[in-house]
Amino acid sequence: MNKDFVKEITNIEEDFAQWYTDIVLKAELADYTSVKGFIAIRPYGYAIWENIQKYMDSKFKKHGVKNLSMPVLIPESLLQKEKDHVEGFAPEVAWVTVGGGEKLEERLCVRPTSETIFSTMYSKWLSSWRDLPYLYNQWCNVLRWEKETRPFLRSREFLWQEGHTIHETEEEAKRFTLEMLDVYAETIENLLAMPVLKGQKTKTEQFAGAEATYTVETLMHDGRALQAGTSHYFGQNFSKPFDIKFQNRQGEEEYAYQTSWGTSTRLIGGVIMAHGDNRGLKLPPKVAPIQIVIVPIAMHKEGVKEAAQELYKKLEKNYRVELDIREQYSPGYKFNDWEMKGVPVRIEIGPRDIEANKCIIVRRDNLEKIEVELSNLNEKLEEVLELIQKNMYDECKKRVIEKTTIAKNMDEFSNNLQQNQGYIKAMWCGDAECEEKIHEITGAKSRCIPFEQEQISDKCVCCGKPAKKMVVWGRQY
Amino acid sequence: MNKDFVKEITNIEEDFAQWYTDIVLKAELADYTSVKGFIAIRPYGYAIWENIQKYMDSKFKKHGVKNLSMPVLIPESLLQKEKDHVEGFAPEVAWVTVGGGEKLEERLCVRPTSETIFSTMYSKWLSSWRDLPYLYNQWCNVLRWEKETRPFLRSREFLWQEGHTIHETEEEAKRFTLEMLDVYAETIENLLAMPVLKGQKTKTEQFAGAEATYTVETLMHDGRALQAGTSHYFGQNFSKPFDIKFQNRQGEEEYAYQTSWGTSTRLIGGVIMAHGDNRGLKLPPKVAPIQIVIVPIAMHKEGVKEAAQELYKKLEKNYRVELDIREQYSPGYKFNDWEMKGVPVRIEIGPRDIEANKCIIVRRDNLEKIEVELSNLNEKLEEVLELIQKNMYDECKKRVIEKTTIAKNMDEFSNNLQQNQGYIKAMWCGDAECEEKIHEITGAKSRCIPFEQEQISDKCVCCGKPAKKMVVWGRQY
DSSP string, B279-323: TB----TTT-S-SEEEEESSTTSTTHHHHHHHHHHHHTTTS-EEE
Residue B333: C-alpha distances to residues A93, A434, B320, B350, B362 (Å): 46, 61, 21, 16, 15
Nearest to B193 by CA among B22, B386, B472: B386
Q: Is the pTM of this model over 0.95?
A: yes
Neighbouring C-beta atoms of residue A254, cutoff 10 Å: 17
Contact B187, B52 (CB under 8 A): yes
CB contact under 8 A, A40 and B95: no
- DSSP letter string, B401-447: HHTEEE-SSHHHHHHHHHHH-SEEEEEE-S-HHHHHHHHHHHS-EEE
Q: What is the DSSP letter of B193?
A: -
> Chain B closest CA to A99's CA: distance in Å?
4
Q: Which residues of chain A are within 8 Å of residue B156 when distances are taken between CB atoms?
A: 99
> Chain A closest CA to B406's CA: distance in Å?
39
Contact B347, B369 (CB under 8 A): no
Residue B85, pLDDT score: 82
Nearest to B321 by CA among B256, B381, B271: B381
pLDDT more than 90, % of chain B: 95
- Choose among B38, B71, B100: nearest Cβ to A157: B71
Q: Which residues of chain A are within 8 Å of residue B93 when distances are taken between CB atoms?
A: 99-100
pLDDT single digits (tens) A237-253: 999 999 999 999 999 99
CB contact under 8 A, A41 and B68: yes
Q: Which residues of chain B are within 8 Å of residue A145 when distances are taken between CB atoms?
A: 99-101
Q: Which residues of chain A are within 8 Å of residue B117 when distances are taken between CB atoms?
A: 33, 40
Handedness of CA A389, A390, A396, A400 (dihedral sign): positive
CB contact under 8 A, B67 and A43: yes
Question: Least CA distance to A145: which residue of chain B?
Answer: B100
Q: What is the DSSP letter of A91?
A: G
Give residue A274's identity as a one-letter amino acid code. Answer: A
> Chain A closest CA to B259's CA: distance in Å?
18
pLDDT single digits (tens) B228-254: 999 999 999 999 999 999 999 999 999
Residue B291: C-alpha distances to residues A218, B187, B278 (Å): 42, 18, 20
Give residue B149's identity as a one-letter amino acid code. Answer: T
pLDDT, chain A, mean: 96
Interface test with A, best of B48, B72, B118, B131 (most A CBs within 10 A): B72
pLDDT single digits (tens) A89-142: 888 999 999 999 999 999 999 999 999 999 999 999 999 999 999 999 999 999
What would the mean pLDDT of A259-272 be, rounded to a whole number? 98
Q: Which residues of chain A are within 8 Å of residue B69 when distances are taken between CB atoms?
A: 40-41, 46, 49, 141, 159
Residue A154, pLDDT score: 95
Strand order across the B321-323 sheet? B321-323, B292-296, B345-349, B358-363, B369-373
Residue B2, pLDDT score: 45
Residue A1, pLDDT score: 42
Contact A151, A182 (CB under 8 A): no
What would the mean pLDDT of A255-265 be, rounded to a whole number? 98
Contact A30, A159 (CB under 8 A): no
What pairs with residue A424 in β-bridges?
A405, A473
φ/ψ bin of A95: left (φ > 0), alpha (ψ from -120 to 50), beta (otherwise): beta
CA distance B67 to B80: 26
pLDDT reading at A7 higher than 70: no
Residue A22, pLDDT score: 97
> Chain A closest CA to B241's CA: distance in Å?
16
CA distance A424 to A407: 7
Nearest to B349 by CA among B363, B359, B339: B359
- Choose among A31, A68, A121: nearest Cβ to B46: A68
Q: What is the DSSP letter of B190?
A: I
Neighbouring C-beta atoms of residue B386, cutoff 10 Å: 12
pLDDT reading at B310 higher than 80: yes
Task: Please give the interface size between A and B, counted as residue pairs whose CB atoms are below 8 Å apart.
Answer: 162
CB contact under 8 A, B124 and A31: yes
Q: Which residues of chain A are within 8 Å of residue B74 when distances are taken between CB atoms?
A: 35
CB contact under 8 A, A68 and B140: no
pLDDT reading at A276 higher than 70: yes
- Choose among B33, B42, B47: nearest Cβ to A71: B33
Nearest to A405 by CA among A473, A344, A359: A473
Q: Which residues of chain B are within 8 Å of residue A96 when distances are taken between CB atoms?
A: 94-97, 110
* Residue A434 three-state SS: helix
Neighbouring C-beta atoms of residue B257, cutoff 10 Å: 26
Residue A87, pLDDT score: 86
pLDDT single digits (tens) B36-88: 999 999 999 999 999 999 999 999 999 999 999 999 999 999 999 888 888 88
pLDDT single digits (tens) A361-381: 999 999 999 999 999 999 999
> Chain B closest CA to A37's CA: distance in Å?
10
CA distance B139 to B49: 11
User: Phi and psi at residue B38, in whole multiples of 5°?
Assistant: -110, 125
pLDDT reading at A186 higher than 60: yes
CA distance A280 to A58: 30
CB contact under 8 A, B66 and A43: yes
Nearest to B75 by CA among A12, A364, A61, A36: A36
Contact A241, A283 (CB under 8 A): no
Confidence band for A8, pLDDT divided at 50, 70 and 90: confident
* Residue A301 three-state SS: coil
User: Phi and psi at residue B388, in whole multiples of 5°?
Assistant: -65, -50
What would the mean pLDDT of B269-291 be, rounded to a whole number? 98
Q: Which residues of chain B are within 8 Å of residue A328 when distances are taken between CB atoms?
A: 130
CB contact under 8 A, B31 and A125: yes
pLDDT single digits (tens) A458-473: 999 999 999 999 999 9
CA distance B260 to B435: 25
Residue A83, pLDDT score: 83
pLDDT, chain B, mean: 96
Residue B1, pLDDT score: 42
User: Residue-wise over B321-345: b if at least 16 C-beta within 10 A, else e?
Assistant: bbbbeeeeeebebbbbbbbbbbbbb
CA distance B317 to A377: 33
CA distance B374 to A102: 63
Contact B210, B234 (CB under 8 A): yes
